[in-house]
Amino acid sequence: MNGKENINQETGVKLATTLIKVSLLFVLAGCIGVMVLLEENGMFGTDETVLKQVSDGEPLAKQHVSKAIKSDWIAPDTSTILSDATGHQIRYGRDLIAHTSVYFGPKGIVGRLTNGMNCQNCHNDAGRKIWALNYSAVASTYPQFKARSNKVVSIADRINGCFQRSLNGEKLDTATKEMQAMIAYMKWLGKDVSKGIKPDKNAVEKLAFLDRAASLQNGRIAYTNLCMSCHGKNGEGKMNDAGNEYAFPPLWGQHSYNDGAGLYRISNFAGFVKNNMPFGTSYEHPFLSDEEAWDVAAFVNSQPRPHKDQSMDWKDISKKPVDFPFGPYKDKFSEVQHKYGPFKPIVKNL
């Protein structure tokens, strides 16, 4: 077979693979309506459900959890929540996580503190899903030291970190019944996890580094083919019919997470996308390849979004994760390489 025939054969295989994935996407899209209805009734993902959570952590090459264990953690069934005052608080906490914008978004009924996204846009199924930033380890590992802030933080501190970064908003008063309800819900989810233990698959999967930088061009193609139908041509997301929360969250722009959020690190975004996107995907049945996950993460995080002052973060620059996109660094690699890779040379230099 000559070179031209080889190229034609490879092109045909790639085209066929793309067509198969796009066809499967339409099948997934057909299921979305049913899945949304199930979620609205508290039924979605009852058999599935940080990192230190994703906006913090040691350099990737050095990340480890000394007390992590292999675990078949399954979120407790919400039907087992008691019908007493504590149970009411737990249920309210779950609703705050699932529908944060209803309470604290631009049209919030409690306050107007956030950008309109919900906590469960990142912590899927209200923090219950495997490899989707679930809350299994919150009660067992907090308070804990955070290298980013260089101090010990509480659960309330961590929630407010998300309010200020992922929700691009303001802090919530820790004494409010809403803060206490969210904490109660998180503790209930981790009630069967021993102190100091982090169940396996509690955060996002750390995908193997590529031998190249993540490709914005490839990521744009993947986004257009696989993500745009839900998240919009310009990453603007789609609001629900009531207009008080997103059915599909914005991935960039003024109503998305800011550049201080954990998902702005592409290793976190890639791991999240791999096991959770397109909507309905799980870690048992991933849809994207690792390369596609890296590339679409790079494309999304190359788009404009709010900026957060991070001058007080990572005072010890030696502890910055390798994909933290803002200098200064202990090494001589550029901000561009720290953001998009290739990461292997950076890790080798540690």
CATH of the domain at 166: 1.10.760.10
Q: Is 16 inside a domain boundary?
A: no
Which residues are CB-neighbours of 170 under 8 A, at least 6 positions away?
113, 114, 163, 164
Mean pLDDT of 286-295: 98
Name the one residue in this structure whose structure tokens are 């803002």.
Answer: 326
pLDDT for the residue 103: 99
Kindly tell me if the per-residue pLDDT of 69 is higher than 70. Answer: no
Peptide bond into 278 cis (omega under 30): yes
Q: What is the dihedral of CA 178, 250, 205, 321, to 10 degrees?
A: -90
Q: Is 60 inside a domain boundary?
A: yes
| Mean pLDDT score of the chain | 86
- And the tokens for 111? 């306050």
Q: If pLDDT is split at 50, 70 and 90, which confidence band does 70 have?
A: low
Q: For residue 138, what are the domain limits?
A: 22-350
Q: Is 9 inside a domain boundary?
A: no
pLDDT for the residue 72: 77
pLDDT for the residue 213: 99
Residue 199, strand partner residues: 69
Q: Are 188 and 140 spatial neighbours (Cβ–Cβ below 8 Å)? A: no
Q: Is 337 inside a domain boundary?
A: yes
Q: If pLDDT is split at 50, 70 and 90, which confidence band does 333 have?
A: very high
- CA 188 to chain centroid, in Å, comes to 21
Residue 69, strand partner residues: 199
Mean pLDDT of 188-192: 98
Phi, psi of 69 (to 5 degrees): -135, 155
| H or E stretch covering 238 | strand 238-239
Q: Is 206 inside a domain boundary?
A: yes
Query: Which pTM does this prediction carry?
Result: 0.81
Number of structural domains in the chain: 1
Kindly tell me if the per-residue pLDDT of 36 is higher than 50. Answer: no
Kindly tell me if the per-residue pLDDT of 61 is higher than 70. Answer: no
Of 62 and 307, which is predicted with more confidence? 307
Q: Is 46 inside a domain boundary?
A: yes
Of 145 and 37, which is predicted with more confidence? 145
Q: Is 14 inside a domain boundary?
A: no
- Cα–Cα distance, 61 to 324 (Å, whole number): 13
Q: Is 2 inside a domain boundary?
A: no
Q: What is the pLDDT of residues 199-252, one digit of tens each?
A: 999 999 999 999 999 999 999 999 999 999 999 999 999 999 999 999 999 999
Kindly tell me if the per-residue pLDDT of 75 is higher than 50. Answer: yes
pLDDT for the residue 184: 99
